[in-house]
Amino acid sequence: MSRAGIFRAVAFFGILALLPFGISAQWIINALIFTLMYAALASGWNLIGGYAGYPSLGHAAFFGFGAYFFGIIFENSVGNGYSPFLILPVIGIIAALLSVPIGFIAMKTRADVFAIVTITLLFIVQTLAFNLRGLTGGAQGKGIAVPPFDPATFARPFYWAMLVLLLIAMSISLYFRRSKIGLSLSAVRADEDKAHGVGVQVTTVKLVAFGLSVSIAAMAGAVWAYYEGFIYPQFAVDPLITIGMVLMTFLGGRATLWGPVLGAFILVPAQQFFSYEFGATQFYLLAYAAIFLIIMLVLPRGILPTINDRIRTKAKLAAEVSK
């Protein structure tokens, strides 16, 4: 890791960690919580959709699993309010274990078909959430006990929990970029058959990437449910959650460390602003889509890869001219 990279990461997370102390407006903290949530989700999705090139459209199923798992455990009591956060690693591990048989079957397919299989999983889980009323409350929803936090700083624990999830997701992403597993996933993305031919443990690396990816989604779903205090199937297992994390990853740049985070910090505030301005007419959806389309037309590979390519091209031209 370069000194510049370490400084950038420390500054980024340091500023975000201290930000709640300087902001009193709760609506800003609320917006930041959802921005961090989607940044973590997009960074997690990038592990399988970016590095491996397998476009999963079923991550909202695991997001909903994490939400309902948390809701079932803490329906009646959350103790001092902070102890429930300790269950998050357990939720992530269980989601990762559940992903193994699902991923083993789904990854018998390739790219486009894999996307169809995973989105089918999403709708299956959503249907179960509506119909398993004894566990989920069905369409009536499921409540979670309210934590005894100070109303003036109620959102801060959830904000920091989302920030920690983003740190975990980006740390895994950084490890992928600098390790053998990342190189193996790059080979799989380029040509899976050739990767298998040169000795890459294709199935293993794909399952590892998928498991780590959905574990982030499940933990984020649990924090989201705790923050919202009530879980409805149409919101907990919502295809728009998956679409959001996919768009943000493509916008910032797939298989990059900062790309998904950049995409989230652009699209989530934009979506919330346009929702506030045009929500009554639904025009905010058009404005939200327009931002993404304009950027993708100008920067087709995503913001960071396109900018890096242009910098390299200019440097190459400057070197040739100097000769």
Dihedral angle, C-alpha 244, 246, 248, 254, nearest 10 °? 170
322 pLDDT band, cuts 50/70/90, is confident
Predicted local confidence at residue 110, as pLDDT: 77
In tens, the pLDDT along 278-313 reads 665 566 667 667 777 777 787 778 899 988 888 888
- Within a domain: 48: yes
Predicted local confidence at residue 286, as pLDDT: 74
In tens, the pLDDT along 200-255 reads 999 999 999 999 999 999 999 999 999 999 999 999 999 989 989 998 999 999 99
- Within a domain: 21: no
Predicted local confidence at residue 296, as pLDDT: 72
Predicted local confidence at residue 93, as pLDDT: 98
Burial class (CB within 10 angstroms; exposed 0-12, middle 13-18, buried 19+) of 312: exposed
Predicted local confidence at residue 319, as pLDDT: 79
As a whole number, mean pLDDT of residues 158-187 equals 95
- Within a domain: 11: no
- Within a domain: 5: no
Sign of the dihedral through C-alpha 212, 218, 221, 222: negative
Q: DSSP E strands: which ranges in 126-279?
A: 142-143, 230-231
pLDDT averaged over every residue in the chain = 91
Q: List the beta bridge partners of residue 194.
A: none
Sign of the dihedral through C-alpha 101, 73, 89, 170: positive
Predicted local confidence at residue 146, as pLDDT: 95
Pairwise CA distance, residues 171 & 119, whole Å:
27
- Within a domain: 55: yes
- Within a domain: 17: no
Q: Provide the domain count of the chain.
A: 1
Residues for the chain: how many in total? 323
Predicted local confidence at residue 272, as pLDDT: 82
What global pTM score does this model have?
A: 0.94
- Within a domain: 8: no
The residue range of the domain holding 232 is 26-322
Other residues' Cβ atoms within 10 Å of the Cβ of residue 286: 11
Predicted local confidence at residue 290, as pLDDT: 77
Percent of the chain predicted with pLDDT > 90: 75
Q: Measured between alpha carbons, how far is residue 105 from residues 117, 122, 206 in Å?
A: 9, 15, 12
Q: Are the beta carbons of 178 and 188 closer than 8 angstroms?
A: no
Predicted local confidence at residue 61, as pLDDT: 97
> Tokens 């109303």 identify what position?
151
**Residue 160: closest CA among 316, 16, 317:** 16
Pairwise CA distance, residues 293 & 98, whole Å:
35
In tens, the pLDDT along 12-63 reads 999 999 999 999 899 999 999 999 999 999 999 999 999 999 999 999 999 9
As a whole number, mean pLDDT of residues 112-126 equals 92
> What are the φ and ψ backbone dihedral angles of 74, each rounded to 5 degrees?
-115, 35
Pairwise CA distance, residues 219 & 89, whole Å:
7
- Within a domain: 171: yes
